[in-house]
Each structure stands twice: as C-alpha cells, then as structure tokens.
C-alpha cells in the first residue's frame, strides 16, 4: 500500500484523477533525469520544482522539464522581477514544507506565484514530485495547471 502524501490528499479532495508512482531513491543522484530513468519515462514529461527569490516579488516557483535548467533572466521576466536567484537548499523546508528531491508544486506551505515551462502543454500528462523522495504524481497537464494555479511561461 502506497502512503498518501499531502499533495495526493489535496488532489483527492479536489476530485482530480492522478496516479502515485514510486521509484528507487539514489541519495547521490536526486536529479529528475534519474527519476525519469527509474520510471522508464521520457525526461521531457518529468518536471522538477525549483524555488527562487526575486528582487521585487520575493519567493516564486518554476516548474521545468527535468533535464533543463531554468534561465534566471526569463524566470525574472515571467515573475515581474528584474533579477532572481535560486533559494538555498537549507531554506526549502521552511519555505515550502518540502525537502530537496521531494519538492512538489502541490500543497506548499504558502501560495507562492508558480510558473510552468510552456513545453508542458505539449504533453497530455506530466510527472511532478508527490512531496517526498521516491514518489511522483502522474496527472493530466491541464489538471496540474488549473489546480496548482500555474502560469505558463518561457523559463528555459
């Protein structure tokens, strides 16, 4: 029996269809590329959740394909900032309630502005972290965008 995560419980409450998929965690490789390999999926539909700090708006979130890096200039522009930077790993838990390798765009402590890379719309469904290492949520892209109130943007 798979343990339900907070993100999964929120989707249940919203009556959104999803699948919880577990994978083997490698503490030395927490990358989304590793996750995609474990799932046997194309890394282009396994998205990672990154937490950034803008010079004007403060904390915001970018969700990008697992094998890509967020372009800080594009992320700043999309979020209404002049500049931005990645937050420190040690800040993640306090800001989001999640740890590195298990940061989900669903169910963060606070409703931060969130942006998803426009390539998401090319896939009928996506994988995102379920909120713990070793677990992904597979759901329809449109459901994720609507439920998590994601803004589609050019981020890479």
CB 136 within 8 A of CB 125: no
Residue 3 has pLDDT above 80, yes or no: no
Q: What pLDDT digit, counting tens, does each position of 35-87 carry?
A: 999 999 999 999 999 999 999 999 999 999 999 999 999 999 999 999 999 99
Largest CA distance in the chain: 47
pTM, 2 dp: 0.96
Tokens (6 digits) for 14: 């919203």
The residue count of the chain comes to 156
Sign for the CA dihedral angle at 14, 18, 23, 29 comes to negative
Q: Residue 27 — very low, low, confident or very high, per pLDDT cuts 50/70/90? A: very high
d(CA 125, CA 139): 5
- Tens-digit pLDDT profile for residues 89-127: 999 999 999 999 999 999 999 999 999 999 999 999 999
């Amino acid at each position: 029996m798979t343990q339900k995560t907070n993100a999964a419980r929120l989707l249940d409450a919203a009556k959104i269809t999803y699948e919880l998929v577990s994978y083997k965690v490698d503490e030395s490789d927490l990358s989304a590329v590793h996750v995609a390999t474990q799932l046997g999926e194309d890394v282009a539909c396994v998205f990672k959740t990154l937490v950034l700090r803008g010079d004007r708006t403060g904390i915001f979130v970018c969700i990008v394909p697992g094998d890509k890096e967020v372009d800080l200039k594009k992320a700043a522009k999309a979020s209404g900032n002049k500049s931005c930077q990645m937050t420190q790993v040690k800040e993640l838990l306090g800001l989001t309630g999640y740890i590195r390798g298990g940061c989900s765009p669903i169910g963060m402590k606070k409703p931060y502005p969130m942006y998803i890379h426009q390539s998401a719309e090319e896939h009928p469904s996506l994988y995102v972290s379920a909120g713990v290492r070793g677990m992904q949520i597979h759901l329809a892209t449109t459901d994720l965008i609507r439920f998590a109130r994601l803004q589609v943007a050019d981020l890479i």
